[in-house]
Structure 1
């Protein structure tokens, strides 16, 4: 049975200009390894396709059982320039929760 990341993690996100930061935090310490396996630059880039036009980086944060996802040039130019309906990082953060959990 396939699990989605939303079942083992939650997110907080923010944006600055055209860049997105998403914190992905395991709900339980024992799910941290699955979060790291599931949230990789490759998987995030595949999820967002052409929306992620710059670098995608994922930084482990073991002290809080989470990771930080940074996406450059991912908001269509930023809130004041984009033609996208939802121009902030909040919706992109929640979209990460649709990733399938890599059960390892």
Structure 2
């Protein structure tokens, strides 16, 4: 079992609307999608963004796209135009999520 950052095994797409951030996490294979289901939980995402996401994190599974979609409420300090945060837009959350470390079985990494 190896610890890897999501950036080495995924792609992301994200955005924001008001005070909510949406992060879509894409796996390149069925095996990695199953790892994401196990490792990238709403609780872990919220903990990863401790101090940034104040509301709930909801995970939607999209198996036909090998994707997880996270809706993060109260995540932008009031919203893009109302926040005093520097760099508070939703697109920044995607690259930040990719810093999260997960455990992946060695044989799954070898398949890549």
| Fold shared per TM-score above 0.5 | yes
Alignment root-mean-square deviation, CA: 1.3
User: What secondary structure, in the 3-state scheme, does the structure 2 residue paired with 1:50 have?
Assistant: coil
Is the contact between residue 59 and residue 68 of structure 1 (CA under 8 Å) also seen in structure 2? yes
> Hey, what's the Cα distance between the residues in 1 that align with 2:76 and 2:17?
9
Q: How does 1:31-50 map to 2 (within 5 A)?
A: 31-50=32-51
Is the contact between residue 19 and residue 73 of structure 1 (CA under 8 Å) also seen in structure 2? yes
Structure of larger gyration radius = 2
- Greater shift, 12-21 or 26-35, is seen at 26-35
Residue segments in structure 2 that go unaligned for 5+ positions in a row: 106-112
Q: Give the TM-score normalised by structure 1.
A: 0.92
Is the contact between residue 41 and residue 59 of structure 2 (CA under 8 Å) also seen in structure 1? yes
Residue segments in structure 1 that go unaligned for 5+ positions in a row: none
Provide the residue aligned with 2:59 in structure 1: 58
- Give the CA deviation at 1:38: 2.2
